Amino acid sequence: MGSLLQPQIKALRGLFCILFVLLLCCFGGKCELQESKPLEPVDSSTVKPFQNHNDEPQAFPDMERENLPVFTMDYPRIQVPFEFTLWVLLASFAKIGFHIYHKITIWIPESCLLIAIGLIVGAIMHSVKEEPPAVLNSHVFFLYMLPPIVLDNGYFMPTRPFFENIGTVLWYSVVGTLWNSIGIGLSLFAICQFEVFGLQDINLQENLLFASIISAVDPVAALNVFEDIKINEQIYIVIFGEGLFNDAVTVALYSMFVFFADMTVVESTDVFLGIARFFVVGIGGILFGVLFGFAAAFTTRFTHNVRQIEPLFVFMYSYLAYLVAELFGLSSVLGIITCAITMKYYVEENVSQRSCTTIRHVVKMLATITETLIFFFLGVVTITTDHEWNWAYIVFTLVFAFIWRGLGILVLSQIVNPFKTIPFTFKDQFGLAYGGLRGAICFALAFTLPDTINRKDLLVTASIAIIIFTVFLQGISIRPIVEYLNIRRTNKDLNTINVEIHTRTMEHVMSGVEDLCGQWSHYYWKDKFMKFNDRILRRILLRDNRAESSIVALYKKLELQNAIDILDMPFGDVSAAPSIVSLTDEKKETSRPKKKFLAADVRKMHDILSKNMYKIRQKTMAYTNKYNLPDDSRTREILIRRHTSIRRSIRAQSFRERQAQNISQAQKYYSLQPGGDLESAFVLRRRSHGGSQLDRLSDHLQASGVSPRSSSRSMLPTNRLNTITEVRNAADQPVPSFAKPHAPEQRGPEGPSFTGREPPVAAPRRHSSNRSNEEEGGQTEPVPPPQLPPPRVWMPDNQDTGENGAGNPLLRQSSQEFGGSKRF
């Protein structure tokens, strides 16, 4: 591993150097050009008068006839976008750099690394006496940089847990931020009163303003630390929500205090007005957000013919929400957040799968770039600007920030714990308090303070100091501290393998039974909203308001047509199909000699178990890393493996329903996803083995007999091959009866093409667009008793699908159809 890294690191270092040099040249070039500019007007002014007099002797020689310039360089023309691109590229290279070595990001948060790189660049620039580009002003920040960050927060907010815990989240974020701002502001003001520190010219408003800036915490960065230890699940959503809402609160407070800072005298009416304004701003922002969210949802109802620009609507509408809220002086942050939350649910149903993916990726990308740039810039500015350093102010800022946050969390938890089903322990609270790193917004707000604030430099310095302090110190130390606090009382090795397996089984059982029970808390408003949603909102806003089965929604949500990614995952040392191995092994079970297990073996087993056992449901919804898209791979894996059993039982259900209700078939039929589906994925996988091997497999499985448990189920003929006609998805032409392409879920009883056995059997499904041809399969699928879980026969093969010469002619024909219809 080390030897592999070296060339990569060297290449990267080379790249960095080149980029630095390039940047410096740009700045150098910029300086030169600015010097040359004043010369030109002088030239032209001297040349012109002489040209008017044709006969008089000319002091200056005629301008030579200019030839066509073969090679010119016009830097000023492209300067701004060029430099911007270079900065972004440099920051992105930095990100690539530290992800090469994975361990770094575990111990050091990314913001740390970005600031560090920024510091280095700043040092270089400073030594060359360059100035950083003066791009970060209030205008640019609030109109261009803040919206993507907040949109990202809002869009990836897990809505259900959020709304279920909304009280707690709002409590911590809003009240917490207020507490922090006012507390820190007042204490700093008290400190300023001491003459000895020389800070008396900072009045109360300015202190409060500064305090509101530095209370914007960004605890999301600490989430990946918390994931590894057993912290209360509610903490996740509180952290997420806090990071989101205290941006809104901070910006609102900021604008309020900036206004106050200009006033010389603040009266009590102003205070009341301020509070009133706070509410108006918040609620107004939310209203606008909801309005634009619904508008976006409604628009996407009609975009099925213009799929390419679907993502655009999401961005335009949310940006509009932001700007309109800004126009009225309302909370634009809240506006864009609520727009994103409102919009997401409906848009993701209306829009094609690819647009959905595009939207997510672009949102993440924009947010990451912006935040990266801000941190980077922070590093650069730290070195290059003039600082005003006042020991007292800065040290006290740090101290107070720490104290007030800790106190705040403590007090808030004490008040709210009795109302919660699962109270926050001290460990949770400590994690929450200590994980409060300051984020990019803090710096940006400080940097863009209006110049009318006196001692602005001091405030900027102080905010930079606190950011660097929290990010570096707290960010790096939080993991060891939390792990130290979290020493499990029972040493893990004392748990036997048995206990570990069985406890996990039981946890899964309980999670399953809880799902069976459903939600039991008093969700009166949620029920009302859901009814309203079903009856009115969905009808208006969704293009296809079929009450789709929630399983279908689940498949869609997890984007299961990308199943091939998972199927391609490299296996350990599986040489043959595991199912075969296991079956033959089971026969020889009794004759296998018992192995002696050493302690090292046992430890290795514990290791494997802890790393590979699926976590229970709540934990699989990962909110973890702010910089990555949410990780669904494990859930997808589970769903695929259970896919066949799910599908079978759903098919049986639909069969029953069909018999009962005689609904016209076409309506219930869901066409395939564009680009293929799981079925095609399976078929193609199997096909590429060559037909003969498949036959061998299926024969073998048949021969080894159905396991005694599934004797109640009929064994269907395994060599049944039906042709497949893949339904053209509705993405291209709106097909009336099959509206939205859905994940392959209902295929209806199309005869005995379903196998009792799982995937190794090659029985391509028949999909017929007109159900009139299909046969009534006489199979009543009995209720599947617990059976062998689908054996893991997705063998890793890298063959390209579609180039398979061997195999059954029928298979080949279907393969050609697939080859044509697969449009990845």
Partner 1 sequence: MGSSSSSSYMRNIPQAQVLIHETGFSAAHLLRLYERFQFLDKGSTGELRAQDFTAIPSLALNPIGDRIIGSFFPPGQEKLDFPSFVRIMAHFRPTDPNRSRDGTQLEPVNSRNKKLRFAFQLYDQNGDGNISRAELLQVLRAMLGVQVPEEQLQSIAERAIQEADLDKDNVISFDEFRKSLEKVNIDQLMSIRFLK
Q: Which is nearer to partner 1, 785 or 820 (CB)?
A: 785
Residue 781 φ/ψ region, left for φ over 0, alpha for ψ in the -120 to 50 degree band, beta for the rest: beta
Encoded tokens for 492: 């893990």
Q: Give the residues across from 438 on adjacent strands.
A: 217
**What is the total residue count of the chain?**
824
Encoded tokens for 391: 């020991």
Encoded tokens for 282: 């918040």
What amino acid occupies position 22? L
CB of 789 to partner 1, least distance (A): 4
Q: Give the HSE-up count for residue 477: Cα atoms under 13 Å, Cβ half-sphere.
A: 8
Q: Which is nearer to partner 1, 620 or 714 (CB)?
A: 620
DSSP E strand boundaries for 73-181: none
Q: Which is nearer to partner 1, 582 or 692 (CB)?
A: 582
HEC profile of 776-818: CCCCCCCCCCCCCCCCCCCCCCCCCCCCCCCCCHHHHHHHHHH
CB of 713 to partner 1, least distance (A): 12
* Residues 6 or more apart whose Cβ sits within 8 Å of residue 292: 317, 318, 320, 321, 324, 335, 339, 343
Cβ distance 224 to 146 under 8 Å?
no
What amino acid occupies position 606? H
What amino acid occupies position 491? N
Token pair 């924009």 is found at 366
Q: Which is nearer to partner 1, 60 or 597 (CB)?
A: 597
Coil, strand or helix: which one is 676? coil
Q: Which is nearer to partner 1, 705 or 820 (CB)?
A: 705
Encoded tokens for 629: 């898209």
Distance between CA atoms of residues 727 and 569, nearest Å: 29
CB of 336 to partner 1, least distance (A): 29
CB of 147 to partner 1, least distance (A): 33
What amino acid occupies position 316? M
Burial of 533 (0-12, 13-18, 19+ CB in 10 A): middle
Distance between CA atoms of residues 676 and 79, nearest Å: 46
CB of 705 to partner 1, least distance (A): 13
CB of 578 to partner 1, least distance (A): 5
CB of 662 to partner 1, least distance (A): 14
Distance between CA atoms of residues 516 and 44, nearest Å: 84
Cβ distance 211 to 249 under 8 Å?
no
Encoded tokens for 191: 């400190």
Contacts of 419-426 with CB under 8 Å at 24 or more apart are: 419/167, 420/168, 420/234, 421/521, 422/232, 422/234, 424/232, 424/234, 424/235, 425/232
Q: Which is nearer to partner 1, 485 or 509 (CB)?
A: 509
CB of 156 to partner 1, least distance (A): 19
Of the candidates 357, 350, 361, 359, the residue with the CA atom closest to the CA atom of residue 318: 359
Q: Which is nearer to partner 1, 180 or 635 (CB)?
A: 635
Q: Which is nearer to partner 1, 219 or 760 (CB)?
A: 760
HEC profile of 345-385: HHHHHHCCHHHHHHHHHHHHHHHHHHHHHHHHHHHHHHHHC
Distance between CA atoms of residues 793 and 580, nearest Å: 9
* Residues 6 or more apart whose Cβ sits within 8 Å of residue 143: 323, 326
CB of 111 to partner 1, least distance (A): 31
Distance between CA atoms of residues 188 and 286, nearest Å: 33
Distance of CA 578 to the CA centre of its chain: 35
Q: Which is nearer to partner 1, 277 or 634 (CB)?
A: 634
Q: Which is nearer to partner 1, 550 or 772 (CB)?
A: 550
CB of 350 to partner 1, least distance (A): 20
Distance between CA atoms of residues 701 and 679, nearest Å: 20
Distance between CA atoms of residues 262 and 586, nearest Å: 82
Q: Give the HSE-up count for residue 453: Cα atoms under 13 Å, Cβ half-sphere.
A: 26
CB of 785 to partner 1, least distance (A): 5
Distance between CA atoms of residues 600 and 602, nearest Å: 5
Q: Which is nearer to partner 1, 24 or 609 (CB)?
A: 609
CB of 640 to partner 1, least distance (A): 9
- List the alpha helices (DSSP H) in 544-598: 550-557, 563-567, 578-587
Of the candidates 458, 380, 444, 2, the residue with the CA atom closest to the CA atom of residue 218: 444
Cβ distance 761 to 698 under 8 Å?
yes
Q: Which is nearer to partner 1, 317 or 623 (CB)?
A: 623
Q: Which is nearer to partner 1, 34 or 582 (CB)?
A: 582
CB of 756 to partner 1, least distance (A): 15
Q: Which is nearer to partner 1, 609 or 810 (CB)?
A: 609
Q: Which helix (H) or strand (E) holds 25?
A: helix 2-36
CB of 549 to partner 1, least distance (A): 6
CB of 824 to partner 1, least distance (A): 22
Integer-rounded Cα Rg, in Å, for the chain is 32
Q: Which is nearer to partner 1, 307 or 615 (CB)?
A: 615
Q: Which is nearer to partner 1, 518 or 809 (CB)?
A: 518
CB of 685 to partner 1, least distance (A): 14
Q: Which is nearer to partner 1, 646 or 716 (CB)?
A: 646
CB of 593 to partner 1, least distance (A): 10
Cβ distance 748 to 670 under 8 Å?
no
CB of 556 to partner 1, least distance (A): 11
Give me the sign of the Cα torsion angle 804, 810, 815, 817: positive
Q: Which is nearer to partner 1, 178 or 609 (CB)?
A: 609
